[in-house]
Chain A
């Protein structure tokens, strides 16, 4: 079954002659347990596509289906619930809550998602161990290294056991060794748990850890996808 189906998604910002087409008739199918790399330079629309898939942004046209949910038909409230329960985000700047410890940055999802606190806490402790963060679980983000912060962000993305993980430029502020480690970790977490994942990146060296690569340029998805249509 397809984890994610994107059909003819277009996103236009602005109106008239100042209109900017961030995405143009993008179509994509992602299988369960598939880790996809979305490759493209800055301004290519890759972040926009990720936002649309994650329910952060509504497209101007087209449909997005995640699992059995038709995302594009949801109300704002329903979109919020979707993001809380069904998607895990790893942002470019890690974006951890600065006054919560590593563990708390994960367990805060108990207040946000529908999962019970007991379960979240169990999963958080487990993830902390898997990610090698147990010793650092009481530290605030400012006390953690870049790599550690990234791992916390990954942990937060996974703690609610979402079906889909969306990752935005995970290696942007890390050196090669650290970056590689992080992507490897992401891939193993995603694959071992049978989840689907999309990683937006401009770093070619990271694609070896993914199952598939799709290129995007000027809002258009290019080759690498079976059902891609070039417009």
Chain B
């Protein structure tokens, strides 16, 4: 142990470089994962925020939120199904809005307050009162457009602005600035901006549902579909994957992350193998004076452990710094699970690299220390 530590302390320059290399590699993967996770979270916020167990779509909507059309009158039938603890409603309207001179895309989500599907994470302000019209909860993404509490959002083509009375977090629909309003407000806006849908009447896109405690979601979902005959009820996770682009994006990013993990892992292992190989001469001497192979291996592993752990910590810090420097329009999310699995991977691969090259060191002939060759 003394040997292992002494080498690090006395060869500080070299070990700083080693830790630096590991740090950069770790930084890369953490940032990739954070960007991927950020995109996922930004795209799916609207469906996750309500903590619903499942979502009821119209069968012919084929799991597409925009094309699902359900008459609001079906809501009571859904709520009456055995196993459904609560049912809410979600209506989706994609529009543009303006604040002063700038206009931006906005997703207006109509929902039933205090029912399943309602955005849970209020971070500022208050929730609309029952019956209050043309007020809404804005996702924090709207702050980037200059909206603050009390401001009004005017939808292009609409006569009446919506006042923002509160901000919610992590409730975006497909990365868009998202505004949550009551179903009544939503319907009025819809009739104004999408007159071609007036003929459809009082319809919504989906009913988010919560199942009874202990009930099986799939069973209840099937029950709902059986009761109504015109619906397709799927779990929230399934609904998320059905959002346009999400599945493709997820699989692309999964591929990106997997490739990165693998490459990074192998590179770290190679790296430590190379560092160990370089010390052949030193190992010859140590073996000549009686160091056993396990003793030498232990030293190598200790060094690999220190270097990878320190490198990881540094890389982690760097990635957090980068996150602060990124413009707020770039979605980033650092998930604990990713951070932990990368830590394990880094340390394990460093150790494997040291062990791999150790096999060669085992074959070093201690006699080579004599004769001035080593």
Q: A92-B372, A100-B6, A100-B10 are in contact. Are A112 and B366 (CB under 8 A)?
A: no
Whether a CB of chain B sits under 8 angstroms from the CB of A215 is: no
- Tell me the minimal C-beta distance from B112 to chain A in angstroms: 70
Q: Which residues of B contact A47 (CB under 8 A)?
A: 370-371
A95 touches B292 (CB 8 A): no
* Residue among B2, B289, B291, B371 making CB contact with A89, cutoff 8 Å: B289
Q: Is the CB of A108 within 8 A of B288?
A: no
69-119 of chain A: CB within 8 A of chain B: 77, 80-85, 87, 89, 91-93, 95, 97-100, 104, 107-113
> What 1/0 flags go to A43-69 for Cβ under 8 Å of B?
000010011001011000000000000
Residue of B whose beta carbon sits closest to that of A85: B290
B12 shortest CB reach to chain A, Å = 10
What per-residue 1/0 map shows which CB atoms of B267-296 lie under 8 Å from chain A? 000000000000000100111111111010
Residues of B contacting A77 in the complex (Cβ-Cβ under 8 angstroms): 292
Residue count of chain B within 8 Å CB distance of chain A: 27
Instruction: Give which listed residue, B282, B290, B365, contacts A112 with CB less than 8 A.
Output: B290
Q: Is the CB of B295 within 8 A of A111?
A: yes
Cβ of B367 within 8 Å of any chain A Cβ, yes or no, is yes
Task: Tell me the residues in window 285-342 of chain B with beta carbons closer than 8 Å to chain A beta carbons.
Answer: 285-293, 295
Q: Point out the residue from A80, A82, A104, A168 that lies within 8 Å of B370, measured CB to CB.
A: A168
The answer, yes or no, to whether B247 is at the interface (CB within 8 Å) is no
A178 within 8 A of partner (CB): no
Nearest residue (CB) in A for B294 is A77
The answer to whether residues A111 and B3 also contact, given A80-B290, A93-B374 and a CB cut-off of 8 A, is yes
Q: Which chain B residues lie closer than 8 Å to A97 at the CB level?
A: 3, 282, 285-286
Give Cα distance in the complex from A169 to B372, angstroms.
9
- A172 contacts the other chain (CB 8 A): yes
Contacts of A172 in B (CB 8 A): 372
Q: Are B367 and A156 in contact (CB under 8 A)?
A: no
Q: Nearest-CB distance from B275 to chain A (Å)?
A: 14
When the two chains form their complex, are residues A92 and B370 in contact, meaning their CB atoms are under 8 A apart? yes
Query: CA A57 – CA B366 in complex, angstroms?
Result: 8
Given contacts A77-B292, A83-B289, A89-B289, contact A51 B3 (CB under 8 A): no
Say yes or no for B1: interface residue by CB 8 A criterion: yes
**The one of B285, B295, B365 that contacts A91, using a Cβ cutoff of 8 Å:** B285
- Nearest Cβ distance between residue A160 and chain B, in whole angstroms? 8
Residues of B within 8 A of A89 (CB): 288-289, 369-370
A92 and B374 alpha carbons, distance in the complex (Å): 10
A47 to B3, CA, bound (A): 28
CA distance A92 to B292 in the complex (A): 22
CB < 8 Å: which of A57, A80, A81, A100 contacts B287?
Answer: A80
B1-32 near A? 1/0 per residue, CB < 8 Å: 11100110111000000000000000000000
Q: Which residues of A contact B365 (CB under 8 A)?
A: 56
Which one of A83, A110, A111 contacts B288 once the chains associate, using CB atoms below 8 Å? A83
Q: Are A108 and B2 in contact (CB under 8 A)?
A: yes
A156 vs B288: C-alpha distance when bound (angstroms): 13
- Nearest to A117 among chain B residues (CB) is B2
6 tightest A-B CB contacts, nearest first = A84-B290, A99-B10, A83-B290, A56-B367, A92-B372, A95-B285
Cross-chain pairs A/B with CB under 8 angstroms, 10 sampled: A56-B366, A80-B366, A91-B285, A91-B372, A95-B374, A97-B3, A97-B286, A99-B9, A100-B10, A113-B290
Known contacts A47-B370, A80-B292, A82-B290; 12 further A-B pairs (Cβ under 8 A): A56-B369, A77-B292, A83-B290, A84-B289, A84-B290, A84-B291, A91-B372, A92-B372, A93-B372, A93-B374, A99-B7, A172-B372
